[in-house]
Amino acid sequence: MSSQSAAALRKQFAAPPPTEQILSWGRYPKSAHHHVHKPAWNDQVPDILKAAVPGFLLPYGLGRSYGDSCLNAGRDLVDCRRLNRILGFDESTGMLRSESGVSLSDIIDVFLPKGWFLPVTPGTRFVTVGGASANDVHGKNHHCAGTFGAHVRQIGLHRSNDGLVICNSEENSDMLHATIGGLGLTGVIAWADIQLKRVAGPWIDAESIPFQSLNTFLDLNRESNDRFEYTVAWLDCFAGKNARGIFFRGNHAADHGKEFHPRRGPKLPFALPSWMLNRYSVKAFNMAYYSIHAAKKGAVVVPYDSFFTPLDSIRQWNLLYGKQGFLQYQCVIPETNLEAFAELLDRIARSGMGSFLGVLKQFGSAPPAGMLSFPRPGLTIALDFAMRGERTLRLMQSLDEIVRQSGGALYPAKDARMSPALFEASFPRWRGFVPYIDPKISSSFWRRVTGAQ
Amino acid sequence: MTIAAHPTTTRPAATPATAMKKIVILGATSGIALEVQRQLARQGRELLLVARSPQRLAELQADLLVRGAHNVSTYSADLASIQQHAAVFEFARRTFRDFDTVLLAYGSMHDQEDSETSIDVLLQELQVNFVSATAILTLFAADLERRGTGCLAAITSVAGDRARRSNYVYGSTKGALSLFLQGLRSRLHPAGVRVITIKPGPVQTPMTDHLPNSARFADPEQVARDIVRALERRSPDVLYTPRIWRYIMTAVRQIPETIFKRLSI
């Protein structure tokens, strides 16, 4: 035996199995991973896929999914963040080809000065193109533009058996449909073609209007849907059935100059002690937030980042919820079932466990871009619950019951705990998606809700 | 004429020493080079990228052009092979005329244990990090010296400041390169050509992923910022990045050898 192979053998047996703690945005659940692959080039991905044990890999981006859909406990992740190159851009059409690890933030920084903007901007810009596609994320313009996936025209997908598969509306259209909203399970996205849209500049003509009932909120939507590209509302989740909140609507400002210097906000340095967030401090925050915005209601011109991604200005805001982390609850409930929605709000208010970030939006009727896309017509609400053990989980289970009975759905990207039954109710056609899963790929979420190995 | 005791001009360090416009990057696909190139692209510079893989070079070229580079040329060559150096240099001289800055960014870090047990690995590490690096730097140095302008920079490592048990092979190749640059600097100084030795601490790149605690290593973006600033300005000759490594290595160099040899670092 040569000395070289002896050394290689020694290394192989001496090395302890690496355990890497990777947390999702909610910092719950906490799961150790076996290994994190970090390809720096797309040409390295096929070998990673080939060498893997079936079900052992999951592509990973910026880890902004809240629960376990971006985790693969005890197994491997393929961290795609180094696949962050822009492979091409057509100045005349706005068609962008971007590797999967490019962040939406990066796209805004490069293209906004050239007069182009994301077709759909989610609540944070710190997600990757791969993640935005695989979760088919939505934004404040869902009622007129649909989801992010609706603007993904073509995807290059690494598959363990078939190499790089090109998916568009003509070629492998079913695989495109499966990959958009496919939770990363269909393969590792090499690149995606995204249709950007023209804007005059970085400014938004924004308006905020206080409302004090669900019906007023719906009236505001009706009145705004045709006139405003972006609509969303913040909801005081301590108000209960009376649904007090602030309705925000906006359009890209036609002419307000291009001069704009984004600010770099503060950063939360460590997890806050959990006692700092309690029902009194949060209630006080919500009352203050409402009063401040209600007082300065009206129209203003604001920079795009404070309109689209206000929370991004505090880096690592998730540490606000302390060491135990938090759970986000985002469901959609059909509008025909407004009583169910009111009951949901009431239960949250009575629990006293709600938090700052009640976000309310009326989805439009665009057909889903992916097989497992979450957005569908109805009202969607997203809010955070600090993880306080059993009682937090119990509250969420009782909300699940309302969602299921109303014919609604829960959003996988935000979830760490929904039952297989609720997943089935939310995505009744999930079995049709199974054949598109790459045999080398799986996730904690998928195993949890489908019982897959 | 009176001479002011305190000159009123502000910090000479901030004035550009050379108009850095056209930069040759040797080892353009290395982790640190990727970040440096992005920042140079944002400043609208012209780049010539040299690396092995034509495919990766094409991807980089597309990316850097969209990000604002004025012009990006590429040349595919294996820089570890000295036979290919003449062609690289000719290409730069002919098609990237009047380049003013050369950054050598490639290197290799084998597992220390492998380079102790295999002479092939040991020699390969020397070949890549020292032998081939000095050869290509000598080619470019002659050209800049003749033109009497420009800047040569090479990425070595803090590991070259003192050789340790756990990676002395890599460390000694980088230390040797630092010494070489020291001499080259002295030789090119009269011609007005700058030579910058860049000594990064551990950085999060593919080269260091396998090392323990690699998640705590420096952010390549920050390291690249320091490098770009050093390329633009008159000082320093030797750049430690992140800066704290200048002080750490000053301390480490003071430890007497009788003690240092007993440390299992």
Which residues is A298 bridged to in the sheet?
Answer: A208
Averaged over B162-175, what is the pLDDT? 95
Paired strand residues for A182: none
Provide the pLDDT for residue B191.
Answer: 97
Domain membership flag for residue B89: yes
Q: Which CATH number fits the domain that encloses residue B231?
A: 3.40.50.720
Cross-chain Cβ contact A40/B206 below 8 Å: yes
The distance of A445 to chain B (nearest Cα, Å) reads 25
Closest in A6, A38, A86 to B66, CB measured? A86
User: Measured over all CA atoms, what is the biggest interatomic distance in chain B, rounded to whole angstroms?
Assistant: 70
Side-chain-side CA neighbours of B1 within 13 Å: the count stands at 1
Residue B87 lies in a domain: yes
Q: Which residues are paired to A303 by β-bridges? A: A203
Which residues on chain A place their C-beta less than 8 Å from a C-beta of chain B? 3-4, 6-8, 10-11, 38, 40-43, 82, 85-89, 99, 110
Residues of A in contact with B111 (CB under 8 A): 11
Tokens encoding A258: 């291009």
The mean pLDDT of chain B is 92
| Residue A18: predicted pLDDT | 52
B6 located within any domain: no
- Asked if A221 and A167 touch (Cβ cutoff 8 Å), the reply is no
So what's the pLDDT on residue B19?
66
Q: Which two tokens stand for residue A346?
A: 């009431």
DSSP string, A369-423: SSTT----SEEEEEEEEE--THHHHHHHHHHHHHHHHTT-EE-GGG-S---HHHH
Nearest chain B residue to A108 by CA distance is B67
Q: Residue A212: count other Cβ atoms within 10 Å of its Cβ.
A: 15
Structure confidence at residue A365 (pLDDT) = 95
CATH number (domain holding residue A322): 3.40.462
A103 in any annotated domain: no
Please tell me the predicted confidence (pLDDT) of residue A2: 42
Q: Which residues of B touch A10 (CB under 8 A)?
A: 113
Beta bridge mates, A378: A363
- Report pLDDT for A257: 67
Whether A340 is in a domain gets the answer yes
Which residues have a Cβ under 8 Å from the Cβ of A366 and sit 6 or more positions away? A142, A145, A146, A147, A150, A375
In a domain, B251, yes or no: yes
B121 and chain A in contact, CB less than 8 A: yes
> Structural domain tally of chain B?
1
Looking at the partner chain, which of A6, A85, A110 has a beta carbon nearest the beta carbon of B59? A85
Q: Evaluate whether residue B5 is within a structural domain.
A: no
Task: State the residue range of the domain holding B43.
Answer: 17-260
Residue B161 has φ and ψ, to the nearest 5°, of: -80, -25
Would you list the DSSP string of B210-248?
A: TSTTGGGSBPHHHHHHHHHHHHHBS--SEEEESTHHHHH
A293 domain-assigned:
yes
In whole angstroms, give the CA distance from residue B243 to residue B225: 12
Q: How many CB pairs under 8 A join A and B?
A: 48
Position B100 pLDDT exceeds 90: yes
- The pLDDT of residue A315: 84
The whole-angstrom distance between B148's CA and the closest CA on chain A is 36
Q: Round to whole Å and give the CA distance between A327 and A321.
A: 10
Report the C-alpha gap between B170 and A1 in whole angstroms.
Answer: 26
Q: Report which residue type is found at A121.
A: T
A contacts of B49 (beta carbons < 8 Å): none
Per-residue pLDDT of chain A (453 residues; tens, 9 = 90+): 344 444 444 444 444 455 778 999 999 999 899 999 999 999 999 999 999 999 999 999 999 999 999 999 999 999 999 999 999 999 999 999 999 999 999 999 999 999 999 999 999 999 999 999 999 999 999 999 999 999 999 999 999 999 999 999 999 999 999 999 999 999 999 999 999 999 999 999 999 999 999 999 999 999 999 999 999 999 988 887 778 899 999 999 987 766 666 666 677 778 777 777 777 888 888 888 888 888 888 888 999 998 998 888 888 888 888 888 999 999 999 999 999 999 999 999 888 887 777 899 999 999 999 999 999 999 999 999 999 899 999 999 999 999 999 999 999 999 999 999 999 999 999 999 999 999 999 999 999 999 998
The upper half-sphere exposure of residue A439, i.e. CA atoms within 13 Å in the direction of its Cβ, equals: 8
Kindly state whether B60 is in contact with chain A, defined as any CB-CB distance less than 8 angstroms. yes
Cα-based distances in Å from B94 to B67, B77, B91, B98, B146 = 26, 16, 5, 9, 16
What are residue A296's phi and psi, to 5 degrees? -105, 30
User: According to the model, what pLDDT value does residue B9 have?
Assistant: 37
Query: Binning pLDDT at 50, 70 and 90, where does residue B210 land?
Result: confident
Whether residue A216 lies inside any domain: the answer is: yes
- A250 forms bridges with which residues in the sheet? A206, A230
**pLDDT at residue number B15:** 41
Edge to edge, the sheet with strand B151-155 lists B71-76, B46-51, B22-26, B101-104, B151-155, B194-200, B238-241
Whether A125 and A105 have beta carbons less than 8 Å apart is answered as yes
| 3-class secondary-structure state, position A207 | strand
Q: In the structure encoding, which two tokens stand for residue B138, read together?
A: 């000598």
For A18, nearest residue in chain B (alpha carbons): B212
Q: For the sheet containing A59-60, what is the strand order?
A: A35-37, A76-79, A59-60
- If pLDDT is split at 50, 70 and 90, which confidence band does B5 have? very low
Distance (Å, whole) CA B63 – CA A284: 48
How many other CB atoms are there within 10 angstroms of residue B214's CB atom?
15
Question: Do the Cβ atoms of B61 and B36 come closer than 8 Å?
Answer: no
Does the beta carbon of B206 lie under 8 angstroms from any beta carbon of chain A? yes
pLDDT of residue A319: 87
Chain A residues lying within 8 Å of B117, measured CB to CB: 3-4, 6-7
In a domain, B9, yes or no: no
Measured between alpha carbons, how far is A357 from A114 in angstroms, rounded to an integer?
Answer: 33
CA of B63, closest CA in chain A: separation in Å?
Answer: 5
A161 occurs within a structural domain? no
Whether the CA torsion A33, A39, A43, A47 is positive or negative: it is negative
Full domain range(s) for residue A236: 203-259+269-415
| CA dist., res. B154 & res. B174, Å (int) | 10
Instruction: Assess whether pLDDT exceeds 60 at residue B38.
Output: yes
Select from A10, A86, A103, A264 the residue whose CB has the most chain B CBs within 10 Å, as the one to mutate to test that interface: A86
Total domain count, chain A: 1
* Residue range B61-85, pLDDT digits in tens: 999 999 999 999 999 999 999 999 9
pLDDT at A260: 63
Q: Which chain B residues are closer than 8 Å to A15 by Cβ?
A: none
Distance CA B172, CA B130 (A): 9
- pLDDT reported for residue A258: 60
In order, the DSSP letters of A220-256 are: HHHHHTTT-SEEEEEE-TTSGGG--EEEEEEEE-SSS
Q: Cα–Cα distance between B37 and B29 in angstroms, integer?
A: 10
Q: What is the pLDDT of residue A13?
A: 43
CA-closest candidate to residue B39, choices B219, B240, B234: B219
Q: Cis before residue A377, ω within 30 degrees of 0? A: no
Helix axes A338-351, A390-405, angle to 10 degrees: 170
